[in-house]
Amino acid sequence: MHAWDRTLTLAGIHDKRLRADYTRQRALVSAYRRHAYVAVRLLLPPALVPHVIAATAFMHHTDTLLDEGGGPANGAGGGDAYAAWEKEVRDGLATGQSGHPVLRPLLHTASRHPRLRDHVQEFLAGAPLDRDFTGFTDEAEYGRYVDAYSLPAFMLIACLLLDPAADAGTTRELCRAYIDGSQRLDFVNDLAEDLREGRLTLTAQALERHGVRRADLERGRETAAVRALLTDLLGRARRDLLASRRLPGLAPAPHRAFIRAVIALEVLTADAAMARGTGLLRGAARPSVPGALRVLAREYVRRGR
């Protein structure tokens, strides 16, 4: 039997169509989040792997619809594609049924991990904040975005990994620290791509503090002020990521290696972005392949112990 087939069986996924759905999601996730996918396969118990992939694929599909904005809802009739998707998800949660290949595995995963249902609802409630995004005035506005959208998105995965008996306040604090660092890192690292799409995700307050104008970023001006701005934001992201390093302690032992690896890979990405500096105005930084492999190998050995 193929290794993936064994993984599906260990996860209790026996229906032929569901197995095909999870397999399709696996291909998608492995294509756009390669390092994360390898970490999932290497470091998590096989019975949990398809469920983490299903939640990740659902989050990515929803995020893609939000990025596309109000477009045709599956073609004829027009309307907002995200609004149609939200209704389909809520209907699926209510009935436990769906004909959509992204939603079917999510609903099956939610039947095995009931906590996921509330996090899906919370994620949907905050999603319009991303769809209607026009920029951040200040840090408080950015914080509201993290609380309403980024954190619920992260909890789709985290609720599958963390111990439900862990202290709720500590869980939220550490998850918030991680996703604050990860989201800020993404916004800085993806700056060039976002600007090409007409989207500026750095706060007006941060630009003003460093004497940087939006035009400086759009025109790729590699000035000392721009360098100071990026260094400041990346340093803050890195500190938040490091502050989340107690998060594995809130998870069952078999899940801890994966969580440690995810945090370490984000810190490596922050270091790569810091080293790239104003080069981020031309394109994103990525951790080196040898560095990422060292993280995965180290945690694989620790997991085995």
Q: Which residue matches tokens 């993290």?
A: 146
80 φ/ψ angles, rounded to the nearest 5 degrees: -90, 115
Higher pLDDT pick, 164 / 73? 164
At residue 219, the pLDDT reads 97
pLDDT higher than threshold 90 for residue 72: no
Residue 142 to residues 3, 126, 152, 167, 250, Cα–Cα distance (Å): 42, 13, 15, 26, 27
**Residue 166 dihedral angles phi and psi, to the nearest 5°:** -65, 155
pLDDT band of 36, cuts 50, 70, 90: confident
pTM: 0.92
Domain 1-113 CATH superfamily? Farnesyl Diphosphate Synthase (1.10.600.10)
Instruction: Average the pLDDT over each of 23-27, 78-82, 85-89, 183-187 and give the range with the smallest value.
Output: 78-82
Q: Is residue 73 scored above 50 in pLDDT?
A: no
Task: Over range 52-68, report the average pLDDT.
Answer: 92
Per-residue pLDDT at 278 exceeds 70: yes
CA distance 32 to 63: 13
**Same CATH fold, 133-305 and 1-113?**
yes
Mean pLDDT of 89-117: 96
Locate the domains of the chain by residue range: 1-113, 133-305
Taking a C-beta distance cutoff of 8 angstroms, is the pair 245, 278 a contact?
no
Instruction: Name the fold adopted by 133-305.
Output: Farnesyl Diphosphate Synthase (1.10.600)
Query: Residue 238 — pLDDT band, cuts 50, 70, 90?
Result: very high
Asked whether the predicted pLDDT for residue 90 surpasses 50, the reply is yes
pLDDT category, 305, cuts 50, 70, 90?
low
pLDDT surpasses 70 at 140: yes
Tokens read off for 45:
């118990």
**Confidence (pLDDT) at 69:** 62
pLDDT of residue 71: 40
HEC secondary structure over the chain: CCHHHHHHHHCCCCCHHHHHHHHHHHHHHHHHCHHHHHHHHHHCCCCCHHHHHHHHHHHHHHHHHHHHCCCCCCCCCCCCHHHHHHHHHHHHHHHCCCCCCCHHHHHHHHHHCCHHHHHHHHHHHHHHHHHCCCCCCCHHHHHHHHHHHHHHHHHHHHHHHCCCCCCHHHHHHHHHHHHHHHHHHHHHHCHHHHHHCCCCCCCHHHHHHHCCCHHHHHCCCCCHHHHHHHHHHHHHHHHHHHHCCCHHHHCCHHHHHHHHHHHHHHHHHHHHHHHHHHHHHCCCCCCCHHHHHHHHHHHHHHHHC
What mean pLDDT do residues 182-187 have? Answer: 98
